[in-house]
Structure 1
């Protein structure tokens, strides 16, 4: 009969490789591929538009391309992580979603004001997206804080981790 080695909490945490489950890796690949496809699609549309475009159209294409590249970067970053993330990935994704929601809502509101169309529906729908993204960001921050608190409790309570 072999005896299991007595590992400290810190050693257990360090042995949590791979850090991402298969499901999270699939999500990371999806973010990377979708972001890259979106960036290529937006940049191709932007580049192939005939004639001179108004400044706000250039801005819209640039923002859309930038958001897609951000998701591409997020997916690539997530795939390269080999350490426990303690929900950092969720926090980053939540902030990307919140930034996209706020920027899109602000842009659509500016267009609605410029055109003199209904600002209220734009703000109502945009507000729902912003509220949902904000709720996810708060939840992600709470989950990360919970995991970090638990890690500190485990490492503090473990006499072997104070070497």
Structure 2
């Protein structure tokens, strides 16, 4: 560092690590909020407009998909209200939502495939790919968060010393 460069405080360094709400993160939050709301409305409308009584597993599937959409809507709303650095907490939450959605969907598709006696291999393969990809996102997001928190602690210690 040269004499002309201003020295940043620990708090300024922490804010540069991950600002409270970058424009890209704001766009992601709005997309999650709107997509979740639109998905919940669409699935609920489709569910409500089905003629006659639906089989139990179909009712469960509709309910689960509405819950997934509401989870993404809630995530988007939560993210938009954050005014402090999240240190990748948002990524961890999104990855866990994705993992839960892919795992539950895979289980539902596998159950239907077993009941019908067809397509079990394909259901397991495709579901396994989605579960593995979302599990990898969870691992990556947790590692990123841990790295940011370690760096924050280092900067806090340096700034306090």
**Structure 1-normalised TM-score?**
0.90
Please name the residue that 1:65 is paired with. Answer: 66
Q: CA deviation at 1:18?
A: 6.0
Please name the residue that 1:77 is paired with. Answer: 78
8 Å Cα contact 1:38-1:65 kept in structure 2: yes
Q: CA deviation at 1:159?
A: 2.6
8 Å Cα contact 2:92-2:138 kept in structure 1: yes
Query: Against the structure 1 CA distance between its residues 120 and 17, is the aligned structure 2 distance closer, same or farther, given a 3 Å change threshold?
Result: closer
Q: CA deviation at 1:6?
A: 6.4
Q: CA deviation at 1:152?
A: 0.3
Please name the residue that 1:10 is paired with. Answer: 11
Q: CA deviation at 1:22?
A: 0.6
Separation of aligned partners in 2, 1:30 and 1:69: 13
Q: CA deviation at 1:36?
A: 0.2
Gaps of 5+ in 1: none
Q: CA deviation at 1:10?
A: 3.5
8 Å Cα contact 2:13-2:155 kept in structure 1: no
Separation of aligned partners in 2, 1:108 and 1:62: 15
Gaps of 5+ in 2: none
Which whole-Å deviations, capped at 9, do the CAs of 1:19-46 have from their partners, x for residues lacking one? 1111110111000000000000000111
Superposed CA RMSD in Å reads: 2.1
Separation of aligned partners in 2, 1:28 and 1:7: 29
Please name the residue that 1:36 is paired with. Answer: 37
Separation of aligned partners in 2, 1:119 and 1:148: 43
Please name the residue that 1:56 is paired with. Answer: 57
> Is 1:105 aligned with 2:106?
yes
Separation of aligned partners in 2, 1:18 and 1:132: 27
Q: What is the count of residue pairs matched by the alignment?
A: 158
8 Å Cα contact 2:14-2:155 kept in structure 1: no
Query: Against the structure 1 CA distance between its residues 129 and 9, is the aligned structure 2 distance closer, same or farther, given a 3 Å change threshold?
Result: same
Q: CA deviation at 1:7?
A: 5.9
